[in-house]
């Protein structure tokens, strides 16, 4: 496989094939799928925010099935405990010792479904895993599989029985995406597919191995970014911190995420260098869940604010 990924053209072919495969289940969401793939090969976690029924869980399952990786789904509820995620030590009476039983966090791809329905204590059990790719149980740090991704889903509108994610955890998601409703034509196409096969994810095939994914991730870090690009990212982040409409601006982690995701986006477009358009493409997905505003109450309003900020910033 190493020989197949020696140039960016082959990387584009592979990621295009992955996007086409996911598109067998997710209809008419090419931009969303492309951005999710960019985050994956950049090694980032993904937060899917939208109302019920638009395909958040289906998208997560389609990604997992496309990659020959271990996959676990954790359904967050108010009675879910941290040990239900990370695992627990159980005393073995025959061996007269404690044995550690791994939790569902020990998988390459973990779907944290309706993550905002878990209590803050349970949500926080993901923090160490997302940042350090390990969990500590009984004072012992245990490494998670490589690669390791968390896909979180939540309904940002419903508030009953939910617990807002703390800023520290939200910041650990590289990108946030709103899947959105399909157009009338695409919704009709979805219905046509559904009438033939109730389970759309069954149409998705495994088209990428873990080794290929790891190789793609290595290629991302070889993509070059000029000093002008780095300064462009800094100017965008600084502008969010100095804006009077913004209570909390982008963190330095946001800048790192923007650069890494832009490199992945460049690679997906057959380039081994970042251009300003790559930054413009990924920035809204990097920033939307990280900045807190005084007035904007919806994702659409936050994105409009980000767009207005970026229009005033020159990449040169």
> Strand 173-177 and strand 45-49: pairing?
parallel
What average pLDDT does the segment 252-276 reach?
95
| pLDDT computed for residue 1 by the predictor | 47
197 lies in the same domain as 305: no
Q: Is residue 11, in this structure, part of any structural domain at all? A: no
75 lies in the same domain as 187: yes
181 lies in the same domain as 56: yes
189 lies in the same domain as 293: no
173 lies in the same domain as 290: no
Give per-residue pLDDT as tens, 199-257: 667 788 999 998 889 999 999 999 999 999 999 999 999 999 988 888 888 999 999 99
Which residue range(s) make up the domain with 310?
221-316
Give per-residue pLDDT as tens, 30-72: 888 999 999 999 999 999 887 777 678 888 888 888 988 889 9
157 lies in the same domain as 195: yes
Q: Is residue 127, in this structure, part of any structural domain at all? A: yes
Q: Is residue 18, in this structure, part of any structural domain at all? A: no
What average pLDDT does the segment 96-122 reach?
91
Q: Is residue 304, in this structure, part of any structural domain at all? A: yes
Residue at which a domain ends, from 178, 205, 232: 205
187 lies in the same domain as 55: yes
| pLDDT of 26 higher than 90 | no
Q: Is residue 6, in this structure, part of any structural domain at all? A: no
Pairwise CA distance, residues 282 & 120, whole Å: 29
Structure tokens, 39? 């985050």
316 lies in the same domain as 275: yes
| pLDDT of 4 higher than 50 | no
Pairwise CA distance, residues 243 & 203, whole Å: 46
Residue at which a domain ends, from 205, 230, 248: 205
Q: Is residue 157, in this structure, part of any structural domain at all? A: yes
- Name the least confident of 1-10, 34-43, 296-305: 1-10
Q: Are 254 and 237 in contact (CB under 8 A)?
A: yes
Indicate the pTM of the whole model. 0.89
Nearest one of 118, 121, 78, 86 to 104, comparing CA atoms? 86
| pLDDT of 192 higher than 90 | no
173 lies in the same domain as 260: no
193 lies in the same domain as 249: no
What average pLDDT does the segment 141-146 reach?
93
Q: Is residue 13, in this structure, part of any structural domain at all? A: no
Nearest one of 287, 262, 215, 253 to 38, comparing CA atoms? 262
179 lies in the same domain as 239: no
Q: How many domains does the chain have?
A: 2
197 lies in the same domain as 238: no
| pLDDT computed for residue 196 by the predictor | 67
CATH code of the domain containing 133: 3.40.50.300
Element (H, E) at 209: strand 208-209
- Cα 29 to the center of its chain, rounded Å: 16
Q: Is residue 302, in this structure, part of any structural domain at all? A: yes
Chain-wide mean pLDDT for the chain?
87
Pairwise CA distance, residues 276 & 281, whole Å: 9
| pLDDT of 97 higher than 70 | yes
What average pLDDT does the segment 301-309 reach?
91
Structure tokens, 76? 């967050």
**Alpha helix locations (H) across 67-196?**
83-86, 120-123, 127-132, 167-170, 184-196
Element (H, E) at 91: strand 87-92
In the chain, what percentage of residues exceed pLDDT 70?
93
């Amino acid at each position: 496989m190493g020989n197949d990924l020696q140039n960016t053209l082959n990387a584009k072919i592979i990621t295009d094939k992955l996007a086409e495969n996911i598109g067998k289940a997710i209809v008419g969401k090419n931009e969303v799928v492309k951005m999710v793939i960019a985050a994956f090969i950049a090694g980032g976690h993904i937060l899917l925010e939208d109302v019920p029924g638009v395909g958040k869980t289906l998208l997560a399952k389609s990604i997992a099935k496309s990659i020959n990786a271990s996959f676990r789904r954790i359904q967050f509820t108010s009675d879910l405990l941290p040990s239900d995620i990370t695992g627990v030590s159980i005393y073995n009476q025959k061996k007269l010792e404690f044995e550690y039983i791994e939790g569902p966090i020990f998988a390459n791809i973990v779907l944290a479904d309706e993550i905002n329905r878990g209590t803050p204590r349970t949500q926080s059990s993901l923090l160490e895993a997302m940042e350090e790719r390990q969990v500590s149980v009984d004072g012992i740090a245990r490494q998670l599989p490589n690669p390791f991704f968390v896909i979180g889903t939540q309904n940002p509108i419903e508030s009953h029985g939910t617990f807002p994610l703390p800023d520290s955890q939200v910041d650990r998601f590289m990108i946030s995406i709103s899947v959105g409703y399909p157009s009338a034509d695409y919704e009709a196409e979805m219905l046509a597919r559904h009438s033939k096969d109730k389970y759309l994810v069954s149409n998705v095939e495994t088209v990428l191995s873990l080794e290929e994914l790891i190789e793609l991730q290595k290629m991302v870090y070889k993509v070059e970014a000029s000093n002008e690009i780095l300064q462009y990212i800094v100017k965008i982040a600084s502008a969010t911190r100095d804006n009077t409409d913004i209570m909390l601006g982008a963190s330095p982690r946001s800048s790192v995420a923007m650069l890494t995701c832009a490199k992945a986006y460049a690679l997906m477009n057959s380039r081994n260098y970042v251009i300003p358009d790559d930054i413009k493409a990924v920035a809204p997905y990097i920033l939307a869940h990280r900045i807190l505003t005084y007035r904007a109450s919806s994702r659409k309003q936050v994105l409009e604010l980000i767009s207005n900020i970026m229009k005033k910033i020159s990449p040169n």
